[in-house]
Amino acid sequence: MKQILHEIRRALLAKTTILMMIVIILIPALVAVTSISSVNYSDSVNAKGYAEGQNLTFTISVYVYSNAYGTPIFGETVNLSISGHNYSFTTDSAGYANTTLHSYNTSEIANSSYTYDQVPGESSTSLREGIIMLKPKGNPYFTCSKPIFDQNETLYSSRYTICPAQINNDPKLYGILVTYQPSNLSNFPNISMYYITDKKGILTSGGTGYTVYGPIDYLNNFTKELGGSNYNESEMKYFRTFKSQESMVISPVNLTTNTNTSDYIFEFFSSNGTEVGWIALNLSRTTSPNAVNSLFFKTELPMLSLFVPLLAMLSAFLVFGRDRVTGVLSTVVVRPISRRSVILSRYMASVGAVFVASLASLGLSSTLFHYLLGTYIPLSSILLSFWALAVMICGFSGLIFFASSIMNSIGKIIATVMLAFFFFDFFWTFYALPAIPIFVSTYLLNQNYGTLEYLRTQAILDYITPSGYINLITYLQQHNVYTIGLASYPVSEIYLTFPLVVAAGLLWIFLPLLASLVSFSRKD
């Protein structure tokens, strides 16, 4: 056992192995980080339309902005319907579509509505909203006010709308998007933001990421009740004061440091202490496990399928092939150990080293996904990927062990490693350059892309090389029905059944190893 541990330690500490392990661990992680940073969250378009005027002359303004970052949308067409008439106008660089209408009374303006595309240019995503009437030159914080319910409460309509928003380059955290309806005001007022930790469980009752928010509906005497919990406004801490603008994203991310909670209640106050809006927000953003899973299979796993076979083969060469040719292995073979045990211990050391690197890579990536997106890679995907990687590691290691046991030249073994890498991995299965499968299907067999025969050939080619196992696993994991172009086929029709894939994996794990064992034990 000590000798096997020595072999494993030796395999792990070889400089080339360390270098390749760093590559295996870091490159897929970097790819994951890059792909994570490109994730977009509900980046749809939102709009606020309002009208202000009197004596049959009204100014209509529709402000169109990105719901994710609060940035104004330029060139968006807004269609206004008023008393059976339609008007189209386009947003300017500040995100405003403005027009002045004559001959319509207050009632007609108040009942008008407008449409805009939530996805610019796609009319199927069109949404209709009503125009909000503003009182001329009204309160800078509220559009109107009137007494309701009882003598102590007053209903206000705030000019501020508050909701969670995406923070640029930090997809795991939420910011707060504040939009302001300035109407014809020339000077935008300041608002101050206060916060308090949500210890009362407003957020936790709704689960992680649950948020409640809205404009202020009523004021009370410093004791707020939200979701059944009470908290004292006088205990709120001051965060910052902002100049109001049409839209802005506030990033209260520094609140998440040095604290165990990311649940906060934020309130916005006017300069004279009047509350104008609030939001209860869990600052941590979580991405769904399915989205993380999909990202992992599309970005990281192909990178692993490129580098893991290379490391497996290099490790096999260093641990067995090179030592056998240079005579180092003979200093072990001469000891009281069977030849079978010699090759098995070296094999275990070699694949063990790559297993460790692969697991470290998967673990680091999962941690990164969690750190950046709030969700770990699902355990089932980790296990499935590890099984696929294990098949690749054992398959390619076994092939090089076998080649090393029948070749007596370092040059020949290195050539075999390079040939196997480029032929059976890089040009065969790496998603950016699957030249061999395309050549075989399209040029050798004259099969058309997307046909059943084409897919069957691709599947057979994936069975032929250990690196194709990643593809088999991906198909099985992601598709019950394989869709290519306009055609769809049940995976079983393209030889992708669970027993077949498992059998192929077991064959790739054991066959090359057995060949090496027989060759080294019986024919050296």
Q: Tokens in use for 422?
A: 């480029």
Binding string, residues 494-523; x marks residues near another protein by CB under 8 A: ----------------------------xx
SS3 214: strand
Rounded CA-CA distance 132/50 in Å is 4
- Angle of helix 379-406 versus helix 339-373 axis, rounded to 10: 150
Of 175-183, 322-330, 428-436, 499-507: span binding another protein (CB under 8 A): 322-330
Measured from the CB of residue 322, what is the shortest distance to another protein in angstroms?
A: 9
Of 231-239, 254-262, 273-281, 337-345: span binding another protein (CB under 8 A): 337-345
Q: Which of 56, 148, 337, 383 binds another protein (CB under 8 A)?
A: 337
Is residue 330 within the footprint of another protein (CB under 8 A)? yes
163 torsion bin: left (phi>0), alpha (psi -120 to 50), beta (else): beta
Q: Which of 144, 328, 506, 518 binds another protein (CB under 8 A)?
A: 328
Binding string, residues 275-314; x marks residues near another protein by CB under 8 A: ----------------------------------------
Binding string, residues 7-26; x marks residues near another protein by CB under 8 A: ---x----------------
Q: Which of 117, 246, 275, 323 binds another protein (CB under 8 A)?
A: 323
Q: DSSP characters for 130-181? A: EPEE--TT--SSEEEEEE-SSTT-EEEEESEEEEEEEPTT-TTBEEEEEEE-
Is residue 338 within the footprint of another protein (CB under 8 A)? yes
Is residue 524 within the footprint of another protein (CB under 8 A)? yes
Is residue 241 within the footprint of another protein (CB under 8 A)? no
Q: Which of 335, 433, 445, 483 binds another protein (CB under 8 A)?
A: 335
Q: DSSP characters for 359-386? A: HHHHHHHHHHHHHHHS-PPPHHHHHHHH
Of 154-162, 216-224, 242-250, 336-344: span binding another protein (CB under 8 A): 336-344
Q: Which of 38, 334, 432, 444 binds another protein (CB under 8 A)?
A: 334
Rounded CA-CA distance 351/321 in Å is 14
What is the bridge-based pairing of β-strands 45-54 and 132-133? parallel
Phi, psi of 184 (to 5 degrees): -95, 15
Q: Tokens in use for 351?
A: 């694949």
Rounded CA-CA distance 428/469 in Å is 11
Q: Give residue 96's identity as a one-letter amino acid code.
A: Y
Measured from the CB of residue 17, what is the shortest distance to another protein in angstroms?
A: 12
Please give the DSSP secondary-structure letter assigned to residue 105: -
Q: Which of 93, 151, 331, 446 binds another protein (CB under 8 A)?
A: 331
Site residues for another protein per CB under 8 A:
2-3, 6, 10, 323, 326-328, 330-339, 341, 522-524
